[in-house]
Structure 1
Amino acid sequence: MASFLVFLLATCAAPAWAQDDLLGQLESQKPAATTPEPVAATFKSTRLISGHTVETPGQGTLVFLISHRFGTINSGAYNFFGLDQAALRLGLEYAVTDKLEIGIGRSNIEKTLDGFVKYRAIRQTTGSKVMPVSVTLFANSAMNMLRDDRSWYTVPRRLTYSYQALIARKFSPNLSLQLMPTLIHRNLVQDNTQSNDVYAIGFGGRQKLTKRTSLNAEYFYLVQSSKPTGSRNALALGFDIETGGHVFQLHLTNSQGMIENHFVANTRGNFFDGDIYFGFNVNRNFTVRAKEGFRK
């Protein structure tokens, strides 16, 4: 009788063990559940070279930006190959949230005062729901502040507006590319043969060299039908160095301007004839407000 009970228990338990083993195998074959992970550091700065990147600083971060361009290298030894001349822009940028950034700046080119707003609409992600690109929307307004006694040269006529959709993808830890459809609207133009709207398409990229250095490039192609008379496509090559809280950007470009109206719509230099401006950007970040959720 005892032997019969042992046999009966073993017979009943065997299917249960087999079922548990089968369920274990099926469980091990299930793909691991993943959540979307945002792609970080597509670029290391809010600027590629002259233009903006898709990046915005973390919430509560204040960015102090110094942008500097010397004169053209082909201006000769008398002008110390451009170092005797200089254009400067000082800017402040603040991240209201992780997605929303505002900024203001002042350039000595036409004594221009500018302000912008930037919104990170889409962020590239990996994981179960992949988003292949990041998209940031950008709008800028700039005003020529030069003294002028002409009564008709009113504030509205001094204004220009810039609009961009910045579309970027980080293809690998080392390579990021960006597309920049651009519209510049000028309230005042030279004559009625000129278009108030200037359309351009920008291309740019970053190739990381080491943990803290990279090569950058930027190019804006002007649509011929809206191209201002005498203007050229802007081309820039740069080298970035990250040093803790600073990003130091060195570059060569055929445009001395440092805001969209200047370098997209008013570039006059021919890069391949030596009309090259050496310049740099210096970015310094300050945390002025603790991020929500991280306050002690």
Structure 2
Amino acid sequence: MCFIVCLSLLLAGAAPAVAQDSLLNQLTTQDSLRTPEPVVATFKGTRVSNGHSIETPGQGVLLFLISHRFGTLNSGAYNFFGLDQATIRLGLEYGLNDRLAVGVGRSSLEKTYDGFVKYRLLRQQPTHMPVSVTLFGSTALTTLRFGNERPFRSRLTYMYQALAARKFSPGLSLQLMPTLVHRNFVATERDNNDVLALGIAGRQKLSKRVALTLEYYYLLPGPTADDFRNSLAVGFDIETGGHVFQLHFTNSQGMIEKFFVPQTQGNFWDGDIYFGFNVSRAFGVKHK
């Protein structure tokens, strides 16, 4: 009788243990099958300096962006070292969902309108995906008046990019930007209608709210590379209350790809440096 009671107690104690082990196995299996969360905040804004980053506005978020460039620092005291001369771009960007965004803008330089589409193809994940990839395409329309009126199509420029980035640590992010610019009209027969470039950009945090940024576009060899310079920008991201204020020093006057990829003329090391900034404000116009 005593043996039967003891055996019953052992079985009663073993049953919860077996059930607990089974539950733990199920949880372990579920955890292994769960997709890791994607890496976020590879860059803090939709721009690095002049060019785009892999980031897009969230679903239902409208972003109002002001980009500003003063004249060159070596223009002298008469022009107040560039502060008397300025170009500006006003832009709107909207997140149709968490992957797809569209945008429009207007630049004072050559009175240019631009529009773009941006799609997040891949997102970096800790174990499944080493990089994030965003596809980008834009069109620019110059409305500047010319002495001899030109056909509408000759005023159009197209640009295509694949942005590939990796966040190596909480403080360091790098991005590659293979780029193609197609111009329907060029000034001379020597100029290329198609311009290829390879961009590289990086962001390194210096403190909790300040980061150093670098952006460089290398023009592949050809007439355009012989006649113009590679675009270079060095800047700082300053985080202020959930927003990022970006300061830049660059040899490119234009703030869209049509200008800074194939038409940069300034020599950064000779002081042809345009000081400028990007500032943005986000508005939630649609609930998820």
Secondary structure of the equivalent of 2:188? Answer: coil
Change (3 A) 1:27 1:99: closer
Query: Quick check: 2:70–2:86 contact (8 Å CA) kept in 1?
Result: yes
Alignment of 1:85 with 2:85, yes or no, is: yes
Residue 37 of structure 2 aligns with which residue?
37
Cα deviation, residue 244, structure 1: 2.4
Secondary structure of the equivalent of 2:43? Answer: coil
Residue 255 of structure 2 aligns with which residue?
258
Residue 141 of structure 1 aligns with which residue?
139
Cα deviation, residue 169, structure 1: 0.6
After superposition, give the CA deviation of every residue in 1:6-57 in whole Å (9 maximum; x if it has no partner). 68x38x959x68x959x68x959x6852422111111110000000000011
Structure 2 residue identity aligned to 1:166:
L
Alignment of 1:220 with 2:217, yes or no, is: yes
**Coordinate RMSD, CA, aligned:** 2.7
Cα deviation, residue 192, structure 1: 1.7
Map 1:221-260 to 2 at 5 A.
221-225=218-222, 227-260=224-257
Alignment of 1:116 with 2:113, yes or no, is: no
Structure 1 residue identity aligned to 2:137:
A
Residue 284 of structure 2 aligns with which residue?
287
Query: Quick check: 1:194–1:228 contact (8 Å CA) kept in 2?
Result: no
Cα deviation, residue 246, structure 1: 2.8
Larger gyration radius, structure 1 or structure 2: 1
Of the structure 1 ranges 154-163 and 237-246, higher mean CA displacement relative to structure 2 is found in 237-246
Change (3 A) 1:5 1:76: closer
Change (3 A) 1:20 1:258: same
Partners of 2:211 and 2:140 in 1: CA distance: 30
Residue 102 of structure 2 aligns with which residue?
102
Query: Quick check: 1:219–1:235 contact (8 Å CA) kept in 2?
Result: yes
> If the length of structure 1 is used for normalisation, what is the TM-score?
0.88
Residue 63 of structure 2 aligns with which residue?
63
Q: Which runs of 5+ in 2 are unaligned?
A: none
Cα deviation, residue 78, structure 1: 1.2
Query: Quick check: 1:142–1:160 contact (8 Å CA) kept in 2?
Result: yes
After superposition, give the CA deviation of every residue in 1:154-202 in whole Å (9 maximum; x if it has no partner). 1100111110000001111111110000000000112222211000000
Residue 170 of structure 1 aligns with which residue?
167
> If the length of structure 2 is used for normalisation, what is the TM-score?
0.90
Q: What fraction of aligned residue pairs are identical, expressed as a percent?
A: 62
Change (3 A) 1:289 1:6: closer
Secondary structure of the equivalent of 2:80? Answer: helix
Alignment of 1:269 with 2:275, yes or no, is: no
Partners of 2:174 and 2:89 in 1: CA distance: 26
Ranges of 4+ aligned residues in structure 1 off by more than 6 Å: none
Structure 2 residue identity aligned to 1:94:
Y
After superposition, give the CA deviation of every residue in 1:239-276 in whole Å (9 maximum; x if it has no partner). 01122243210010011110001001100001111111
Partners of 2:243 and 2:25 in 1: CA distance: 49
Cα deviation, residue 66, structure 1: 0.6
Structure 2 residue identity aligned to 1:248:
F
Cα deviation, residue 290, structure 1: 1.0
Cα deviation, residue 212, structure 1: 2.2
Structure 2 residue identity aligned to 1:93:
E
Query: Quick check: 2:190–2:223 contact (8 Å CA) kept in 1?
Result: no
After superposition, give the CA deviation of every residue in 1:129-168 in whole Å (9 maximum; x if it has no partner). x1111111001100111112424x1110011111000000
Query: Quick check: 1:197–1:226 contact (8 Å CA) kept in 2?
Result: no
Query: Quick check: 1:198–1:226 contact (8 Å CA) kept in 2?
Result: no
Structure 2 residue identity aligned to 1:87:
T
Cα deviation, residue 230, structure 1: 2.1
Structure 1 residue identity aligned to 2:66:
I
Change (3 A) 1:175 1:20: same
Partners of 2:55 and 2:96 in 1: CA distance: 14
